[in-house]
Chains A and B, each alone.
Chain A
């Protein structure tokens, strides 16, 4: 089989890496760009633009581009993520019949996986041009706390782009792989991954070539974008006081302000203070008015402190899950663009009580780790049991999986942090005379109540023999395989025979749609060559 690449599909930036002659290399495009903005811009004519060119267009015409699609992928229309996007995005969002959002840009409808597929397709092209061969499979990274629908939608996006996902790996885990690869250390490591849209933290035990994940957690509503928003809000508030115009209520101006705020944030990592000017934000009776504001690093730190504090709440939970305290950790690895912010770096070092390890670039570590895992998975099967692999990743269940019980509660079956592959079983009995079917609702999440969790699907055990209530015992087996996929099977305990049953997972797209979009994607690419 051909070479497999590792893809870091980020909220704001994406990158792709591959193993070349045993060494992981981040692949750049013709201009040498390694971090591609996760932005898709739809020009008036011609095909959509992705990456740097899309970002440039987006700066002047924010209404016809989609950024941060990762925040929406696998989310239902009525979820908080989509509500936030609906309020701030310049494009129209409406609900599809299956409950997922549909974006409308320049009169065309797109499902979120289609947008992500364009980004993945762009990365695939970059890799193919650089490596000079066709790439058909990849390891793609996702935030640690992505739910199954989000993971499934990411897989669908890759399929549309013509990539088979060999494995979805958690971003911080991938970063740890990049960090510990070839070192053969024996230590406990924390990976603090503060990216553009999500925050994740993972604790690992590195033991020789084994990368053993102990616990992982994250917040998908915490990232660099929130720093931008805080900074933009601060500027908008000042502007409102001066002129009475609230930029936050105007989608296009707000997008422009966010764009400037991101630049200001980056500048503040190296400068002590910065002045920003945004042309012609409002048209007042006195004529077009510019928005100007100055901010020092200290002021910025005050704005961001809350956000940093939220990340430590998650670190507390993860440490508890791993039954470790901070003193037991021997290393701290910082990953993600936000860890370049002095405030974030210092606070993290203070929390973990040690200076961060250097040696890997925080922006590309995730892609590099994905490439290492891709190489491990495409390595030929060992010819003798004694040949050790160059790296071996022992992952855990990122989110608890449970079943709905009477009264609207969820009973966890496989708890988060369980090493995968994992298997648990429960025995259920029929509760009515002549009952031939048992329905089991499967939920994912840490909440005690159904409405705090995500519904994965419904498992129906069918074809049970009619009998008095309580006579039929069915053992339902929940299995999470090494791909992190949930399989459910059922067995009639009396006969020992497998019952027919299946999980109806509410996927964002159905098989036919994926195939149709994939065909269209191929067509577009074919036309370009």
Chain B
């Protein structure tokens, strides 16, 4: 099993990657934020990173950005492009990539290019005096490959967990409920077939179904468990309906980007133009936003935080993040809100 990370936000392109990387040979993840990338390199232990890049001029910048992530230097880097790859290969290798994959490509081509890139990285690592990640041999890595996903998610009936541990787990899940994906809440891979989702849902029900906690005296615990299981139940019904699952997969990547449009940085939003008449001067944080909607919701969130309306703030920040997934200020705020909610779960 080869663990692959893919830098891609467009659902259409993600589908192309999933087609090239079948789930029996690859475990694929699509990290979203810089933080996700950091975590992915630390915990996931990627063998290869794939990036779809149509602009040869930007090869170098992309490679440098990815290599800058701690832990990234042991993974092979493969650029994916629709252009004539033969001509660009030299350019890609010079930029720091280990391979270049030309589209359209089937599973064998992709596998060959990725294997070559991993070997190349192994060689480069040896030459540079670093230890590259050893290549996976047989499917013996399977257990290790799925472990990171399972460790942070409910592993319900497994092992004799104590009540205190279970309660702590409930609190953790409850605090992060708003931005846990349907896949994460059930602890399944994004490529999981329906029967696996059903099994995961049954395991989740054994651990979290509110019927098991009817006689629990702590009303707050009961409510948290109820909310958590409601999300699990929702996740199950969405992911086992092929139509709903397709819609969901396409939506949770954030605002979709049109496949072949050059992505352009939005100019910084000018607060002078947008400030409504008589409004207070914009807060410092709002100046870091790039979209009017992002700014609006960030401002709302800040007001909510000042008034101690933490849940409202979290909702507003989540909406703001939809518009600007990479905004550092928003990420900081959401962490702060989460921390405050965790400290005081009964807050508004």
A positions within 8 Å CB-CB of B? 1, 166, 205, 207-210, 212, 376-386, 388-389, 392-394, 418-423, 479, 481-482, 494-497
Question: In the assembled complex, which residues on chain B have CB atoms less than 8 Å from the CB atom of A479?
Answer: 230
* A386 and B161 in contact, given A377-B211, A381-B212 (Cβ under 8 angstroms): yes
Give min CB distance, B234 to chain A, whole Å.
Answer: 7
Contact B211 A482 (CB under 8 A): yes
Give min CB distance, B150 to chain A, whole Å.
Answer: 15
Question: In the assembled complex, which residues on chain A have CB atoms less than 8 Å from the CB atom of B312?
Answer: 495-497
Cβ-based interface call for B165 (8 A): yes
Contact B216 A394 (CB under 8 A): no
Cβ-based interface call for B311 (8 A): yes
Q: Which of A209, A380, A496, A497 contacts B215 (CB 8 A)?
A: A380
Contact B202 A207 (CB under 8 A): yes
**In chain A, what residue has the closest Cβ to B217?**
A381
Q: Which of A209, A386, A422, A495 contacts B233 (CB 8 A)?
A: A422
Question: In the assembled complex, which residues on chain A have CB atoms less than 8 Å from the CB atom of B237?
Answer: 418-419, 422
Give min CB distance, A413 to chain B, whole Å.
Answer: 13
Contact A389 B206 (CB under 8 A): yes
Give the contact stretch, choosing among B16-24, B115-123, B152-160, B245-253.
B152-160
Interface size on B, residues (CB 8 A): 42
| Total A-B contacts with CB atoms under 8 angstroms apart | 103
* Most B C-beta atoms less than 10 A away, residue of A1, A393, A421, A479: A421
* A210 and B205 in contact, given A384-B162, A392-B212, A423-B234 (Cβ under 8 angstroms): yes
Q: Give complex CA distance A496, B303 in Å.
A: 11
Q: Which of B156, B205, B216 contacts A385 (CB 8 A)?
A: B156
Question: In the assembled complex, which residues on chain A have CB atoms less than 8 Å from the CB atom of B169?
Answer: 385
Q: Which of B161, B205, B234, B315 contacts A394 (CB 8 A)?
A: B205
Question: In the assembled complex, which residues on chain A have CB atoms less than 8 Å from the CB atom of B315?
Answer: 496
Q: Give complex CA distance A389, B213 in Å.
A: 11
Question: In the assembled complex, which residues on chain B have CB atoms less than 8 Å from the CB atom of A1?
Answer: 215
* A421 and B226 in contact, given A381-B213, A385-B161, A386-B161 (Cβ under 8 angstroms): yes
Q: Give complex CA distance A496, B157 in Å.
A: 37
Cβ-based interface call for B149 (8 A): no
Question: In the assembled complex, which residues on chain A have CB atoms less than 8 Å from the CB atom of B159?
Answer: 386
Question: In the assembled complex, which residues on chain A have CB atoms less than 8 Å from the CB atom of B2?
Answer: none
Q: Interface digits, B190-221 against A, CB 8 Å rule (1 contact, 0 not)?
A: 00000000110010011101111111110000
Give min CB distance, B173 to chain A, whole Å.
Answer: 12
Contact A384 B211 (CB under 8 A): no
* Most B C-beta atoms less than 10 A away, residue of A205, A376, A385: A385
A-B contact pairs, 8 of them (CB 8 A): A210-B202, A381-B215, A381-B217, A385-B163, A392-B209, A394-B202, A495-B304, A496-B316
Question: In the assembled complex, which residues on chain B have CB atoms less than 8 Å from the CB atom of A382?
Answer: 163, 212-213
Give min CB distance, A498 to chain B, whole Å.
Answer: 9
* Most B C-beta atoms less than 10 A away, residue of A381, A479, A497: A381
Contact A421 B163 (CB under 8 A): no
Give min CB distance, B308 to chain A, whole Å.
Answer: 12
Nearest 5 CB-CB pairings of A with B: A496-B312, A385-B166, A381-B216, A421-B230, A419-B233
Question: In the assembled complex, which residues on chain A have CB atoms less than 8 Å from the CB atom of B158?
Answer: 386
Question: In the assembled complex, which residues on chain A have CB atoms less than 8 Å from the CB atom of B309?
Answer: 495-497
Cβ-based interface call for B188 (8 A): no
Contact B226 A482 (CB under 8 A): yes
Q: Give complex CA distance A377, B215 in Å.
A: 8
Question: In the assembled complex, which residues on chain B have CB atoms less than 8 Å from the CB atom of A210?
Answer: 202, 205-206
Q: Give complex CA distance A369, B311 in Å.
A: 41
B positions within 8 Å CB-CB of A? 156-163, 165-166, 169, 198-199, 202, 205-207, 209-217, 226, 229-230, 233-234, 236-237, 300, 304, 309, 311-313, 315-316, 348
Q: Which of B206, B230, B311 contacts A496 (CB 8 A)?
A: B311
Q: Give complex CA distance A205, B300 in Å.
A: 46
* A423 and B212 in contact, given A209-B206, A212-B202 (Cβ under 8 angstroms): no
Question: In the assembled complex, which residues on chain B have CB atoms less than 8 Å from the CB atom of A418?
Answer: 237
Contact B215 A378 (CB under 8 A): yes
Question: In the assembled complex, which residues on chain B have CB atoms less than 8 Å from the CB atom of A166?
Answer: 214
Q: Give complex CA distance A482, B232 in Å.
A: 13
Give min CB distance, B288 to chain A, whole Å.
Answer: 22
**In chain B, what residue has the closest Cβ to A495?**
B312
Question: In the assembled complex, which residues on chain A have CB atoms less than 8 Å from the CB atom of B213?
Answer: 381-382
Contact A384 B163 (CB under 8 A): yes
Question: In the assembled complex, which residues on chain A have CB atoms less than 8 Å from the CB atom of B226?
Answer: 421, 481-482
Contact A385 B207 (CB under 8 A): yes
Q: Give complex CA distance A495, B308 in Å.
A: 12
Question: In the assembled complex, which residues on chain A have CB atoms less than 8 Å from the CB atom of B161?
Answer: 384-386
19 additional A-B residue pairs with CB within 8 Å, beyond A421-B210, A421-B230: A210-B202, A210-B205, A381-B217, A382-B212, A384-B163, A385-B156, A385-B162, A386-B158, A388-B206, A394-B202, A394-B209, A418-B237, A421-B233, A422-B237, A423-B234, A482-B209, A482-B210, A482-B211, A497-B309
Contact B210 A384 (CB under 8 A): no
Question: In the assembled complex, which residues on chain B have CB atoms less than 8 Å from the CB atom of A376?
Answer: 211
Contact B214 A377 (CB under 8 A): yes
Question: In the assembled complex, which residues on chain A have CB atoms less than 8 Å from the CB atom of B214?
Answer: 166, 377-378, 381
Q: Give complex CA distance A65, B212 in Å.
A: 42
**In chain A, what residue has the closest Cβ to B170?**
A385
Q: Give complex CA distance A205, B198 in Å.
A: 10
* Most A C-beta atoms less than 10 A away, residue of B207, B209, B216, B316: B209
Give min CB distance, B338 to chain A, whole Å.
Answer: 16
Q: Give complex CA distance A209, B211 in Å.
A: 14
Give min CB distance, A180 to chain B, whole Å.
Answer: 14
Contact A384 B313 (CB under 8 A): no
Q: Give complex CA distance A207, B205 in Å.
A: 12
Q: Give complex CA distance A418, B212 in Å.
A: 20
Contact A208 B202 (CB under 8 A): yes
Q: Give complex CA distance A58, B148 in Å.
A: 69
Q: Give complex CA distance A188, B330 in Å.
A: 47
Q: Give complex CA distance A511, B212 in Å.
A: 30
Contact A388 B157 (CB under 8 A): yes
**In chain A, what residue has the closest Cβ to B214?**
A377
Contact A392 B162 (CB under 8 A): no
Q: Give complex CA distance A380, B217 in Å.
A: 10
Give min CB distance, A305 to chain B, whole Å.
Answer: 36
Contact A379 B215 (CB under 8 A): yes
Question: In the assembled complex, which residues on chain A have CB atoms less than 8 Å from the CB atom of B163?
Answer: 382-385
**In chain B, what residue has the closest Cβ to A373?**
B211
Q: Give complex CA distance A376, B209 in Å.
A: 12
Q: Give complex CA distance A482, B161 in Å.
A: 25
Question: In the assembled complex, which residues on chain A have CB atoms less than 8 Å from the CB atom of B234?
Answer: 422-423
Contact A389 B212 (CB under 8 A): yes
Give min CB distance, A165 to chain B, whole Å.
Answer: 13
* Most B C-beta atoms less than 10 A away, residue of A209, A381, A496: A496
Q: Give complex CA distance A207, B201 in Å.
A: 11
Question: In the assembled complex, which residues on chain A have CB atoms less than 8 Å from the CB atom of B229?
Answer: 421
Question: In the assembled complex, which residues on chain B have CB atoms less than 8 Å from the CB atom of A205?
Answer: 198
Give min CB distance, A509 to chain B, whole Å.
Answer: 26
Q: Give complex CA distance A381, B338 in Å.
A: 28
Q: Give complex CA distance A421, B227 in Å.
A: 9
Contact B304 A386 (CB under 8 A): no
Question: In the assembled complex, which residues on chain B have CB atoms less than 8 Å from the CB atom of A423?
Answer: 230, 234
